[in-house]
Amino acid sequence: MYAIYARQSVEKKDSISIEMQIELCKSYISGSEKIKIYEDRGYSGTNTKRPAFQEMVSDAMLGEIQCIIVYKLDRISRSLADFAALWEEFERKNIELFSYSEGIDTKTPMGQMLIKLLIMFAEMEQKTISGRIRDNYHARAEKMMPLGGVPPFGYNRDWTENKDESVIVKECYNQVIMGKSFDNIGRQMNFSGTKVARIIKNTAYVMCNDKVIEYLVSNGCKLIGKRKNFCDNYGIMSIRSEGEHFIAAGSHIGIIGPEIWLSAQELINSRKPSSNGGSGSKSWLQGLMICGKCGCGCYIRDNGKGKTYRYITCQGRRKGICSGLSSVHLTDVESFAEEQIVHELEKVLCDMPELTINNENKNNINNMEYEILKDLESSDTISHKKIFKLERQRELLMRKMTKSIVIQQSKKSLWKELPFDAKKAAARLFIKNIIVTEMKIVIILQA
């Protein structure tokens, strides 16, 4: 069975509708094939928690689907980590994937490689957009301007106190201080435990003072703007970006006293289990390295106190079948692998047909976008074929520009721009194994 998946987060005049996505995908399938259509309206591609999408994945895992067809790859997911996990499952089930707009067909080796490269570049662009949004938040916070968004429970839209809701917020804090769990409080308030947790941890509620600022800074928060901007009794705005937590002076009055808020934070922190230093990924090469002495897999360990160095350690030593590896630094292995991966990546990109981009190409893109919008404004009936043709030409030119820019970038700058998950995916795309000994490192590429 062929599956067609269509998604549209927001309906806009200049975006292709779900109906049009489905019709274009159907043109790829011969009339005799069985088709099932899955569509999600109003769902973002930033995560996979979409009802129709989950149903399709479930059908695929049951072996009911042989090929998935989408209008564009980002209809499936905009997250490299999510897509990589899904693609691994699809490959295991021998499920093919076809993207109508990009013309990518995973029946071919080039299609399999391009699908992974394009997802990497899509995530790079998403990171760039996230950076612009973060910078805008920071600029507004420094000027003590509203950061936008919907105020939390307990406040009206203009950030004035909502008396009915603020009573509930205050009661949540009182219950936490009495030692009750988030789930128990939530049941009393007809909330979920998760919502109670968000209320308790939110800095927007606290009446600012020196102790609150000291607590937040000591827990890794960074101030946006000057300390004098944080006025007593006013709330504090939080911004989380790329693993960092920033705080900015709010322009609204807090509703929870600083002592109560701090007491609640201390209580919930005391409930947290101790962190496991060995959990999580320490390297984008994890799972690929093999000991050249015994053939066992390798893991990564820290040197302990002081300046942290990471070493490659053989699992065979734990089992008593190998003398292990002595002083093989992770940075040395990563640097060697990086050169090989970037070389392969550039080779793939440079082997594509030569691309020349000039100002005329860029002007054509702008003119075509203007023509689409002008037609939409001036006519009640628009030719879907014309819209698709113009959008198709614009996408082809944009792809040419993207490839041209990537090819022109230096090896180091190209690699540095990739996020951790993209590096991990690139490593698995090109590298089968890395044989490690004290004397040398050997990289075995994918066939």
- For 297-324, the pLDDT digits (tens) are 888 887 655 455 788 888 888 777 888 8
Least confident window among 74-78, 268-272, 322-326: 268-272
Q: What is the pLDDT of residue 146?
A: 57
- Considering the domain boundaries, does residue 137 fall inside one? no
Query: Which residue, of 271, 301, 331, is where some domain finishes?
Result: 271
- Considering the domain boundaries, does residue 131 fall inside one? no
Per the structure, how many domains does the chain have?
A: 3
Domain co-membership, 359 together with 331:
yes
Better pLDDT: 81 or 71: 71
Q: What is the pLDDT of residue 135?
A: 67
408-437 average pLDDT score: 73
CA distance to 277, 394, 395, per residue, from 369 (Å): 51, 8, 11
Residue 39's CATH number: 3.40.50.1390
Least confident window among 49-53, 111-115, 213-217: 111-115
Better pLDDT: 152 or 411: 152
- Considering the domain boundaries, does residue 45 fall inside one? yes
- Considering the domain boundaries, does residue 327 fall inside one? yes
Domain co-membership, 319 together with 379:
yes
Give percent above pLDDT 70 in the chain.
Answer: 70
Sign of the four-CA dihedral 408, 409, 414, 417: negative
Spatial distance between the Cα atoms of 54 and 244, rounded to a whole number of angstroms: 32
Read off the pLDDT band of 156 (50, 70, 90): very high
Torsion of CA 322, 326, 332, 338, to 10 degrees: 0
Domain co-membership, 334 together with 432:
yes
Checking if the pLDDT of 94 tops 80, the result is: yes
Q: What is the pLDDT of residue 6?
A: 94
435-445 average pLDDT score: 89
- Considering the domain boundaries, does residue 382 fall inside one? yes
Phi/psi at 123 (5° precision): -70, -35
Q: What is the pLDDT of residue 47?
A: 79
Read off the pLDDT band of 398 (50, 70, 90): low
Domain co-membership, 434 together with 299:
yes
Crossing angle between the packed helical segments 80-92 and 420-430, to the nearest 10 degrees: 30
48-61 average pLDDT score: 91
Checking if the pLDDT of 180 tops 70, the result is: yes
Q: Map residue 89 onto helix, strand or coil.
A: helix
- Considering the domain boundaries, does residue 135 fall inside one? no
- Considering the domain boundaries, does residue 69 fall inside one? yes
Spatial distance between the Cα atoms of 40 and 71, rounded to a whole number of angstroms: 13
First to last CA, the chain: 30
Q: What is the pLDDT of residue 381?
A: 53
Domain co-membership, 297 together with 426:
yes
Domain co-membership, 314 together with 376:
yes
Query: Which residue, of 98, 126, 154, is where some domain finishes?
Result: 126
Q: What is the pLDDT of residue 36?
A: 94
Read off the pLDDT band of 21 (50, 70, 90): very high
Q: Which domain holds residue 199?
A: 143-271
Give percent above pLDDT 90 in the chain.
Answer: 20
Within a 13 Å sphere around the CA of 438, how many CA atoms are in the beta-carbon half? 5
Q: Are strands 104-105 and 35-41 parallel, antiparallel or unpaired?
A: unpaired
What residues contact residue 79 under an 8 Å CB cut-off, 6+ apart?
45, 46, 47, 48, 123
Checking if the pLDDT of 406 tops 50, the result is: no
Contact status, residue 57 vs residue 97, Cβ threshold 8 Å: no
Q: What is the pLDDT of residue 271?
A: 63
Least confident window among 132-141, 315-324, 330-339, 342-351: 132-141
Q: What is the pLDDT of residue 376?
A: 59
**Residue 214, token pair as written in the block:** 């000291």
* Tokens 């041209």 found at: 404
- Considering the domain boundaries, does residue 50 fall inside one? yes
Read off the pLDDT band of 359 (50, 70, 90): low
Nearest Cα to Cα of residue 56 among 45, 68, 73? 68
Q: What is the pLDDT of residue 78?
A: 75
47-67 average pLDDT score: 91
Q: CB burial class (10 A; 0-12, 13-18, 19+) of residue 365?
A: middle
Query: Which residue, of 76, 99, 126, is where some domain finishes?
Result: 126
Domain co-membership, 300 together with 332:
yes
Mean pLDDT of the chain: 78
Segment (H or E) for 261:
helix 258-271
Domain co-membership, 106 together with 149:
no
Domain co-membership, 425 together with 344:
yes
Domain co-membership, 195 together with 322:
no
- Which range of 55-69, 70-84, 319-333 scores highest in mean pLDDT? It is 55-69
Nearest Cα to Cα of residue 26 among 74, 90, 71? 71
Q: What is the pLDDT of residue 280?
A: 41
Q: What is the pLDDT of residue 400?
A: 57
Read off the pLDDT band of 162 (50, 70, 90): very high
Q: What is the pLDDT of residue 130?
A: 61
Domain co-membership, 216 together with 77:
no
Domain co-membership, 107 together with 173:
no
Better pLDDT: 80 or 279: 80
